[in-house]
Amino acid sequence: MALKIAQLGQPVLREMAAEVSPELITNPATQSFIDEMIEMMRGAKGVGLAAPQVFTSKRIFIADVLPAERGNERGRTEVFINPKLSELSAEKESGWEGCLSFLELSVFVPRHKSLRVDYLDREGKPKALKLAGFPARVVQHEYDHLDGILTIDRATTTKNIIKNSEADDAIEY
């Protein structure tokens, strides 16, 4: 089964995703789906991908947020199933974010600087991570997809949504 990335306007991107039954996590179909998501994310050169983005309204996302094995590599991929966010820092930081569901746009989004995420990994084992900076931003972005929230919803003004081809002229620092 070849996955396709849902684009802005697809109803699945606005739905509240359903919890995944823990018994189904180790099911071969679920494991194959996770593998396909990882392949899709890497092929698209993304750092995260949520199941709703591939037309599956389930509370699963993947993100390259684990420490790299070598200093110059991107983060390693983790699978987050039925995640819950907590310990959100009061302090926020705004930054530009892209999204595989609307590649032509970048959005300037405020996010919590740090957080804790509790989740089940791809083997169904309970895990928790405390993240800060870019990894925390990625997790919040992907978590939003599970609740039907897009970065354009988080922009504090429409001036913070730009077309990438116009970015050089539009971005003010």
Note the pLDDT tens digit of each residue in 76-96.
999 999 999 999 999 999 999
In this prediction, residue 12 carries a pLDDT of 97
Reported as a pLDDT band with limits 50, 70 and 90, residue 169 is low
- Each residue's pLDDT tens digit, 124-161: 999 999 999 999 999 999 999 999 999 999 999 999 99
Could you please state the CATH topology (level 3) that the domain comprising 11-170 is classified under.
Answer: Peptide Deformylase (3.90.45)
Q: What percent of the chain has pLDDT over 70?
A: 94
Kindly report the CA angle at 57 between 22 and 158, in degrees rounded to 5?
130
* Lowest mean per-residue pLDDT among 16-30, 45-59, 100-114, 153-167: 153-167
Enumerate residues 6+ apart whose C-beta is below 8 A from 6: 12, 13, 52, 53, 54, 55, 101
Reported as a pLDDT band with limits 50, 70 and 90, residue 74 is confident
Catalytic: 78?
no
In this prediction, residue 2 carries a pLDDT of 80
Reported as a pLDDT band with limits 50, 70 and 90, residue 173 is very low
Reported as a pLDDT band with limits 50, 70 and 90, residue 72 is low
Q: Is the pLDDT of residue 119 over 60?
A: yes
Kindly report the CA angle at 86 between 20 and 76, in degrees rounded to 5?
65
Candidate list 15, 142, 166, 172, residue with the active-site label? 142
**Inter-CA distances, 106 with 22, 32, 70, 142, 167, Å:** 35, 31, 29, 15, 8
Residue 151 tokens read as 């970065």
